[in-house]
Chains A and B, each alone.
Chain A
Amino acid sequence: MGGARVAFDLSIPSDIQYIEGVVELARQRCRELKFPAQKCSLNVPVALSEALSNAILRGNLSQPHKQVRIRAIVDDDDLVFEIVDEGDGFDLATSIIDPTTIENIGKEEGRGLFLMERLMDRVESFVNDGNVVRLTLRR
């Protein structure tokens, strides 16, 4: 990412009530950076909301003393979000299911990772001073 700069960098407590504020900030940055309208109104809000819920509920198990850090990094081509929690991490490849199959479509759960993958150009999960999920959106 040549010429990359941080669009925002913040930490929130492990409480789902903070998700909407972070998503709104990301949406504003997306628009200011002149990304296509639907990417700012659909792809970013939904994918980031999923990543934040996973970090709060599954990573940090909603424990109030644990934080979730969110960094947004931008360059000419990409907008990248890094969501870091204090959990044990997970294997993205084995955790994702297809919620559109006949056996899964009627289930309440199981669409989060699928939506992140469909709405972002790249989704990575790795451990680096915390459990990191990196979402990359190309312009």
Chain B
Amino acid sequence: MSFSIKKQGEVVVVDVEGQLIVGNRQELKQKVLDELEKGEKKFLIDFSQTGYIDSSGLGVLVSLSKKIREQGGELRLANLNDDLQTLFELTKLDTLFQISDTRERALESF
């Protein structure tokens, strides 16, 4: 499990490879907060290579979204598979985030 970060235009894109769980959520949080501290405002997390997310992982997404909004930025999500879509619907987090089917659509939406 790992996270890769790259810039596409004005958007910081984070790929979550593997799981987003209690064991690695702090790593994701720190990487995104480091970019926020550098002045980045637009963030996209792409889950196309993600297995599952636990409650800690979901919690980190909520926390990051709040921190980014407080700095005048925005966090959007893309490429949730059926399992992840179900998870977001169960927790109603699909109402809290702007979620796109593809990375391209998400990038265009900023």
Interface residues of A (CB under 8 A from B): 16-17, 19-20, 38, 41-42, 45-46, 49-50, 53, 57, 99-100, 105-112, 114-115, 118-119
Q: CB distance B54 to A53 under 8 Å?
A: yes
| Contacting pair A19 B21 (CB below 8 A) | yes
Of all chain B residues, the one with the shortest Cβ separation from A44 is: B52
A119 to B66, CA, bound (A): 27
Q: Which residues of A contact B63 (CB under 8 A)?
A: 108
B19 touches A42 (CB 8 A): no
Which of B21, B59, B66 touches A111 (beta carbons < 8 Å)? B59
Chain B interface size band reads 20 to 34
Question: Could you tell me the dominant secondary structure of chain A's interface residues?
Answer: helix
**Which B residues contact A (CB, under 8 angstroms)?**
1, 19, 21-23, 51-56, 58-60, 62-63, 66, 82-83, 86-87, 90-93, 95-96
Chain B residues with CB under 8 Å of A41's CB are 51-52, 83
Chain A residues whose C-beta falls within 8 Å of the C-beta of B92 in the assembled complex: 100, 105
Contact (Cβ within 8 A) A111 B83: no
